[in-house]
Amino acid sequence: MREKPLILVIDDLESNLQVAGNILVEAGYEISLSIDGRKGLEIAKRTIPDLILLDLVMPNIDGFEVCRQLKSQSETTEIPVIFLTSMKNTDNVIKGFELGAVDYIIKPANKQETLARVKTHLDLKRSKETILMQNKQLKNLIEERNGFFTISSNHLMNPLNLIKGYNDLIKIFDSKNTNSSDLKRLTQQIDSEIKAVSSIVNDFLYLYNLEEGNFPSIAESFNINMLIGKVIKDFEADIKAKRLIVEHETDLSKTTHALAVKEKMEVVFKHLISNAIKYSSFYRSISITSTEIFDRKKFIRVEIKDQGVGMNEEDLKNIFNKYAQLSPTPTNNEQTVGLGMATVKKLVDEMGVQIQIESQESYGTMVKLLVPTM
């Protein structure tokens, strides 16, 4: 509802329009006036008023028909309608309520009564809108919760079952005095599965806290190349495991610094580089470039290009959705729950960083970022 409610008055007598209009304007409402039912319908569709005062008896098209048409159309069906009638005719009142009217006022309109009824139904409308909005938010929360638990239960149980299996094997091997190298291999696999579980939980908690506004958003100047280098180093083991070549080329001067929230940009790069690794086959290359460009103002353009499995058009449409289950699968059974790119989108939008993704199945993906500079 508008901060200053708009009320449409439809009456075939100009004197009635003037009286009702003056009462409403003095009370602080915005008004629209119509001396004809058909024009009133047009105004209602165009402006979507917060409430309509509607005369019952009018030539050409009466108040009943106007009300029926209002309630039959999705744009206007929720607008409260109060009938204006010159006498209390029980049959007319009942018919009006059956058509969807919320109240009636007997003419000539009494100022106090008119304002009281108008205020009551505007308050009810505002309360209804609040309840509907809260219900929608609750529904979204329930859907998100269900989505998280449905997806996460599978992704969490798989590594946990593997950990249990490895633990049982260790007990068997230990009882048979098995070679220590076999035990070492199993403990490494356990560590890998624990890391997968931790990653899922951390991704969920980070996005939750981000949406709750629990992270600072103060932009600072920093060397973006050093940050990219740090993130690449963090993934050194994963890169070696798949025999990947990761190249980072730049033409940025030492004085060209990014202007963003450094901690958040680090999370962005972690998700993007992690995806490039996950969806790259063994012995492939990942290219990262950072260059300075001018598009009305200076930006640092960062491009992360892989030679991985790529995505189709439907995947690209859904890539920023939470819990998105896209068609590509990681090439070495790496875990993914569909939270990474939702987190990336939330972060870049907050920082004013532009993101663009190009991809083709079997040929790979390129992510382009435009990061503000000092």
Per-residue DSSP letters for 136-197? HHHHHHHHHHHHHHHHHHHHHHHHHHHHHHHHHHHHHHHHTT--HHHHHHHHHHHHHHHHHH
Residues sharing a CB contact under 8 Å with residue 184, sequence separation 6 or more, in sequence order: none
Q: Is residue 127 a part of any domain in this protein?
A: no
Amino acid at residue number 85: T
CATH number at residue 168: 1.10.287
H helix runs in 48-110, sequence order: 63-72, 90-99
Domain match, 240 and 295 both: yes
Same domain, 242 and 202: no
Whether residues 292 and 365 share a domain: the answer is yes
pLDDT at residue 195 greater than cutoff 80: no
Residue 117 lies in a domain: no
77 with 156, same domain: the answer is: no
Q: Which position has the higher pLDDT, 62 or 159?
A: 62
What is the token pair recorded at 310? 């790529």
> What is the CATH classification number for the domain harbouring 349?
3.30.565.10
Higher pLDDT, 255 or 155: 255
pLDDT, the chain, mean = 87
Note down the domain range covering 154. Answer: 142-211
Supply the CATH number for residue 73's domain.
3.40.50.2300
Give the DSSP letter string of 104-136. Answer: EEESSPPHHHHHHHHHHHHHHHHHHHHHHHHHH
> How many domains does the chain fold into?
3
pLDDT of residue 170: 62
**Where a domain ends, among 162, 191, 211?**
211
Give pLDDT tens digits for 315-366: 999 999 987 888 999 998 887 778 899 999 999 999 999 999 999 999 999 9
* 352 in the same domain as 227: yes
Q: Identify whether residues 95 and 171 lie together within a single domain.
A: no
Give the number of other CB atoms < 10 A from CB of residue 42. 12
Strands in 297-306's sheet, in edge-to-edge order, are 245-250, 285-295, 297-306, 364-372, 354-360
Query: What pTM value is reported for the model?
Result: 0.57
Confidence band of 155 (pLDDT split at 50, 70, 90): low
Where is mean pLDDT largest: 81-95, 185-199, 296-310? 296-310
* Of residues 56 and 168, more confidently modeled: 56
Residue percentage of the chain with pLDDT more than 70: 84
